């Protein structure tokens, strides 16, 4: 049996690969030190203050030096962020204002956006992050893994994978302001010829969210020949998009139908140490705290074999043996975390309910890779896989010099 073709080749499966349909992709961020990310902004500010007030020898240890970053490493400012560019050991400056990010799948956290603290920050992503941008994040593939192949966010994602090899981050647009869709040249024209002029970059994204599936060659996306199936998939994809954006871009916050929603039945204690689930009562227990009803689909929702609710909880409770700046967390469970948990339960429950409809899209006539080649959509030109030039201003480089980009 022949080995499957490599992702991005346009060969192998009859369905094209996401790597060809959205050809510009970026690897996940590599922070180099976990303490620059936290579930609340106050912890990040406290960590910064502890770092900059520490004596030089202690600061080095708290920082967690790597080959890419030490307290003596200057770095260019991240696009759109006003932070220091001189050596942290010499002129740390004020604490950078934490920014909201998506830390792995479905976990909204906070990041210190200081390039001196981050090994590989992927500035090309920061340059195109604006109020029109959406980011598709591939989830790491593991054997017998369940759950969606992709997620989408309006926040800057770090692409962290809870298990398996991390996927890539694919912006919907190559330039700020929602211009130049990150789609294979000619793809929109081909789909409009099949399904009408209403096809947009956003509707292609919706179809991808609804239909993408994992294959040994990579994430594959079947493109239907019939407009009825296309329209049903786009409608479903817009629903998935609305749920995952959590009210961003003018959409409504995710809610379970029929007024059924999770409530706090017993207050979460100041320091919950355990998370468990009672399937019979549909109750999530956080120590002595109780939340219900929690649908089984939300509790069992996994990415890369990892339960999302357990991962979310574990990141907000101090693990035994954790030391240094990473251990700086709220001493008492914040009310905001409970609100975020209720929303996450709702989001996961809704996504679980939609999985059967997603699986129904897999069957049917497709526009295969041979037709895409005949139409000139494949192979994708190398220029479409590189970032677009988006600089409309000068960016500050290390030690205050202008960045050479």
For 60-119, how does the pLDDT look when each residue is reduced to its tens digit (9 = 90+)?
999 999 999 999 999 999 999 888 788 999 889 999 999 999 999 999 999 999 999 999
What is the pTM for the complete model shown?
Answer: 0.92
**In sequence order, what are the beta bridge partners of 257?**
none
**In sequence order, what are the beta bridge partners of 38?**
110
pLDDT tens string 347-405? 999 999 999 999 998 889 999 999 999 999 999 999 999 999 876 555 666 755 554 44
6 pLDDT band, cuts 50/70/90, is very low
pLDDT tens string 135-187? 999 997 776 667 899 999 999 999 998 876 778 999 999 999 999 999 999 99
Judged against a pLDDT cut of 60, whether residue 3 lies above it is answered with: no
Q: Which of 171, 151, 170 is nearest to 161 (CA)?
A: 151
* Separation of alpha carbons 327 and 111, rounded Å: 15
* Separation of alpha carbons 403 and 392, rounded Å: 13
Give CA separation, 309 vs 41, 286, 290, 296, 342, in Å.
21, 11, 14, 11, 11
């Amino acid at each position: 049996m022949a080995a499957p073709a490599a992702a991005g080749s346009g060969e192998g499966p009859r369905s094209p690969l996401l790597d060809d349909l959205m050809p510009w992709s970026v690897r996940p961020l590599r922070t180099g030190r976990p303490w620059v990310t936290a579930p609340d902004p106050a912890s990040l500010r406290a960590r910064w203050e502890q770092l900059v007030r520490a004596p030089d020898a202690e600061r080095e240890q708290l920082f967690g030096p790597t080959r890419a970053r030490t307290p003596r490493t200057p770095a260019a400012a991240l696009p759109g962020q006003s932070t220091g560019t001189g050596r942290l050991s010499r002129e740390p400056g004020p604490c950078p204002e934490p920014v909201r990010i998506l830390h792995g799948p479905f976990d909204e956290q906070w990041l210190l956006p200081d390039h001196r603290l981050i090994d590989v920050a992927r500035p090309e992503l920061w340059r195109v992050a604006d109020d029109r941008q959406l980011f598709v994040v591939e989830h790491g593939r593991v054997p017998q893994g369940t759950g969606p192949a992709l997620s989408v966010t309006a926040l800057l994602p770090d692409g962290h994978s809870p298990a398996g090899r991390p996927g890539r981050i694919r912006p919907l647009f190559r330039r700020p302001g929602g211009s130049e869709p990150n789609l294979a040249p000619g793809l929109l024209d081909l789909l409009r010829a099949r399904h009408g002029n209403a096809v947009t970059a956003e509707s292609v994204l919706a179809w991808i969210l609804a239909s993408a599936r994992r294959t040994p060659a990579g994430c594959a996306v079947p493109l239907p020949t019939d407009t009825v199936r296309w329209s049903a998939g786009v409608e479903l994809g817009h629903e998935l998009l609305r749920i995952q954006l959590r009210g961003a871009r003018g959409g409504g916050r995710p809610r379970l139908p029929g007024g059924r929603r999770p409530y706090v039945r017993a207050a979460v204690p100041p320091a919950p140490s355990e998370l468990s689930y009672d399937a019979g009562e549909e109750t999530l227990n956080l120590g002595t705290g109780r939340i219900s009803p929690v649908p089984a689909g939300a509790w069992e929702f996994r990415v890369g074999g990892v339960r999302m609710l357990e991962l979310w909880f574990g990141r907000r409770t101090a693990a035994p043996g954790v030391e240094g700046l990473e251990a700086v967390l709220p001493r008492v469970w914040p009310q905001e975390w409970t609100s975020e948990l209720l929303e996450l339960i709702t989001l996961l429950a809704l996504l679980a309910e939609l999985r059967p409809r997603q699986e129904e899209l897999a069957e049917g006539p497709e526009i295969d890779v041979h037709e895409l080649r005949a139409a000139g959509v494949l192979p994708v030109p190398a220029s479409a896989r590189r970032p677009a030039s988006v600089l409309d201003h000068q960016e500050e480089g290390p030690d205050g010099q202008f960045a050479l980009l």
